[in-house]
Amino acid sequence: MSSGTPVLVIGGTGKTGSRVARRLIDKGVPVRIGSRSGQTPFDWNHPETWQAALDGVEKVYMTYYPDLLVPEAEEAIGAFAEKAVRSGVRRMVLLSGRGEEEARRCELAALAAGGDTTVLRASWFAQNFSESFLLHSVLEGSILLPADDVPEPFVDAEDIADAAFAALTEEGHAGKVYELTGPRSLSFARASEEIGEASGRRIDYVRIPHAAFLETLRSQNVPEDIVFVMDALFGRVLDGRNAEPQPGVREATGHDPTDFSDYVRRAAASGAWDRA
C-alpha cells in the first residue's frame, strides 16, 4: 500500500496517534503529524494553524486534547471538520469516548460536516497504567483513585490503532460508530492485581475520596484542564454505564480485542514497570 497523499494524524505523538502513524508509515503511506511541535504546527486552540496542516490532505485521524469532555471541544471539532471537508478531505476518523454526552455532541458535529467519517468510541485505555498519569503510581506500588468496584472493559491502544488504520485505508467504514473495548470488564483493584502479578511486584489499589483525588492532582501542578477531565471521568463517567464489553474491535478490524492480561504481560516484558 502506498500513496503520494499524506494522512494528517492529529495528536500523532500521543498514545493512539503515534501507533496509527506507525502503521501508516509501515505500509508506505506518507504521514503528516499534527501537533504543536510538529514540522507543520497544529494547535486546537489556534485555528489559524489548521489550514497549513490540511493542505494536500485527503484523510485525517482526529484526537482532541485534552479530551472531548471540555466545553470548547464541540465547537472546535465542528469548525475543523467543516474546514477539512472544504479543503478536500474525504475521509475522517474521530477518536471519541464511551458514555460521554459531550463526546457524543462532538461526534455529531464531525458527522454534520459531511465527508466519510468514522467514529471510534473507546473505553478507558489500558496504556493509562504504563504510558500515562497512572505510571508513577504503579511504580510507587500504590494506585490511589476515587473509583469503586464498578468494572471497566479496558481497551488496548494497539486495538484502537488497528481500528483507525482500517477505517483510514479500507472501504466500508464510512458513517460507522465502533464501540471499542476489551473482551472483559474488571475493576481498578483487579487491574492493579494483574499488573502486580505480571510485573512481579505488589501493586495496591486504594480508593480515596473524589475531592482528595482532585486536590492531589492540583498539588502535583497538573494543568486545570486535565483536572477538569479527571473530575468528569471519575465523577460521572465511571459509574457503570460502560461496564459491558462491546464488539467494536472485531467489527472494525476482523480480530478479537486484546485481553487486559495480554496487555500487562506485554507491558511488563517491555520494562514499562521496571523501577530503574
Is pLDDT of 15 > 90? yes
Q: Is 193 a domain residue?
A: no
In a domain, 220, yes or no: no
pLDDT in tens, 234-244: 999 999 999 99
Residue at 63 is within a domain: yes
Question: What was the pLDDT predicted at 239?
Answer: 94
Q: Which residues pair with 178 in a beta bridge?
A: 120
Could you report the per-residue pLDDT of 116-152, keeping only the tens digit for each? 999 999 999 999 999 988 999 999 999 999 998 999 9
Q: Residue 61: beta bridge partners? A: 9, 93
Report yes or no on 100 lying in a domain.
Answer: yes
Does 65 map to a domain? yes
The answer to whether 249 touches 257, Cβ cutoff 8 Å, is yes
Domain containing 89 — which CATH number? 3.40.50.720
First to last CA, the chain: 40
Q: What is the mean pLDDT of the chain?
A: 96
Q: What is the pLDDT of residue 276?
A: 56
What is the count of structural domains for the chain?
Answer: 1
For residue 269, being part of any structural domain is answered with: no
pTM to 2 decimal places: 0.96
Helix, strand or coil, per DSSP, at residue 155: strand
Would residue 206 count as lying in a domain?
A: no
Please, which contacts does 68-73 make with residues 24 or more away whose CB atoms are closer than 8 Å?
Answer: 68/96, 68/97, 68/100, 68/102, 68/103, 68/106, 69/97, 69/100, 69/102, 69/103, 69/228, 69/229, 69/232, 69/233, 70/102, 70/225, 70/228, 70/229, 71/102, 73/102, 73/103, 73/106
**How do residues 68-113 score in pLDDT, each as one tens digit?**
999 999 999 999 999 999 999 999 999 999 999 999 999 999 999 9
Structure confidence by residue, pLDDT tens digits, 176-190:
999 999 999 999 999
CA dist 102 and 97 (Å) reads 9
Mean pLDDT of 162-186: 98
Q: What is the residue range of 89's domain?
A: 7-124+155-183+243-257
Q: Is 57 contained in some domain?
A: yes
Is residue 245 over pLDDT 60?
yes
